[in-house]
Amino acid sequence: MVERTYMRVRADMPPGHVRTPAYLRGKTGWVERTLGPFPNPEALAYRQPAEPHPVMRLRFTMAEVWGADAERPTDTIDAEIYAHWLEQAEPPYAP
């Protein structure tokens, strides 16, 4: 089995045009693939010079995102998260 790289989405709530869904902030997923770099939408939206960032497609389990409320804990959500929103993380559970 290929080793997974786990990342945690920063749990911040800054104002502005942020394309990191609030329901995934603070959640840990593994890198499905790396994309980009793409210009930072938080600057682009205000016509500011937008630095390109890698974008990670992270895969989260429903168990990680919704806890005990998960409809099916092993189903998954993939989302594109800009690298400046991510921090290194340990696996959230035994793989």
Q: Which residues are near another protein by CB under 8 A?
A: 19-21, 23-24, 35-36, 38, 41, 55, 57, 65-66, 69, 71-72, 74-82
What is 47-87 written as a DSSP string? T----EEEEEEEEEEHHHHHGGG-SSTT-EEEEEEEGGGEE
- The bridge status of strand 76-82 relative to strand 52-61 is antiparallel
Output the six-digit token pair for 8.
């945690």
In the complex, what is the shortest distance from the CB of residue 13 to another protein, in angstroms, rounded to a whole number? 15
Nearer to another protein, 2 or 90 (CB): 2
Judged by CB, which is closer to another protein: 74, or 88? 74
Q: Which is nearer to another protein, 20 or 28 (CB)?
A: 20
